[in-house]
Structure 1
């Protein structure tokens, strides 16, 4: 059954704000806790507009945190795996940190060693910023809106950009809405970088999770983890998740693409491309707990990253260390290096236009499936 089925008449508590920690300059970082009134809670930090925790019940009603994170603010101040962060101005990679727009070359600092890429917006991307926050009032659900002003030239990107990210928790579903406007032509590609483990944060592996992706093609990469060329079919490769498969079923296959990335760290081209309303594109299931996640989005791509670089040096709120493949990211987005690939869907944003993107995370109890919801 859906979690929402058992909570139709339960009021949802208002979001609760507390102080998660203090930045070196004395600024407080607030944590906003959202509650769906049916057993799911989410915690959002103003540092990086970060999803710090997401508690979801299993088939027996036991709620565990299913996203990886740091136990205190100190961990978020050392840039590392981007746990739960809103990444931007451009999520994923820009080759050589350079792109052209309207005949001008723009340079973003490299930050993907040992590779020569600008990754997730540069070394001081949106994940490192303190966002302004206010509760979402007057509508259904428990929510918070975060706002950031990114000035012209920020990390080398042109145009002053105002960004808002809304987290809205309704029974059984977390909705993330992104909006942005600019005063000069620029490029924008925002996403959330949560690492999921439906067995509970701190569980040793996600290789036993079953994954389905609505994607008949993916983007092969070179040694720099940049797209080699256009999409290629997944059929007959370890990248075929068009039917449910365990994440670990073929991750050790003798495949050149898997060797280059040390596992999965690739963009899948979602069937149908970008859409005006979110549609379901991924189903992640943990058979032992019964937790299922249906992920819906308006985006044309999704980056699956299987936590290949996690090495046991980081410890989560559970007190357990994060080893390789202890979490996976499903990053809804446009394609990597799109500003340098005119045949990819465009990430350009111009004055008078509004950047809009929505992603839904819908959770079910065993035997049910959440609906993608309305845009």
Structure 2
């Protein structure tokens, strides 16, 4: 239920800045909850109580003020929102003077409150979806529980099949999320969820890959106007609603790769990267220690090794690309083999070294 008291001070402050009149707002019982004159707070305003009861504007003349408690000359009007009175607005002054703009002020206040209620409802809806998604991917609730909660917040569980994660590098406000939902072109039923302090999660229906890339690119460009840097995006695989936890995990893996590659990455397209990101950090460190760690400090040799692993032509062509003599290249390759204890012409050693280089660059 809407709480008028939480907005009443803002209403009085705004109106006072626009006109040289004292303003009050009362609750349904006629007690003043906001006033230009702070001494009137919490006092009973009999004129407001009458206006509320009759749901009519009341002109408080000098004569009427002498008969009613806690009133001053002016006009009091019920604040009507969605067809129901929620409080009373009062403006002090001679009624004939105040009457010229009283109805307009009342309408502005009612529109302001209606807009605030709408914003609160949208924020509540977004937060409910955020809480629901958190439970969906972090707990092992039964299918029945998930279905019941989804229905409570009007989510069609048969619609959503995939997760994408966008790295935003800063937390976005709910108003930012609302704006993105208005301009996004992915799907009318797309859900955008803030995840932690620096990510957005997209709960998506079944969308063709080409359309998905186009829509995600458009959305990220909009966010980049605020963040001012390129945003990594990872996309998980299709799954049924109750197993979107897996799609979320896949999207997180793809996001880590996207940070290095600078483009949208689909987990389904990962190959070696899939192995790299599924291996524990301590295992990765031990693997590097046993393979290329002795060479890491030798930047020139590391660059030569990477060029060797990527070569598609003769030694002479590779030497030319590195701007060194062919004999210098041969010397470096022999030195690399001696340091690492490998044979770069042996397929087994070549695969190990290549994997280690890729893993090192990933880290």
Note whether the superposition's TM-score is higher than 0.5: no
RCO comparison, higher one (Cα < 8 Å, 6+)? 1
- Structure with bigger helix share is 2
Larger Rg: 2
Which TM-score applies when normalising by structure 1? 0.17
User: Which structure's residues are more often strand, by fraction?
Assistant: 1
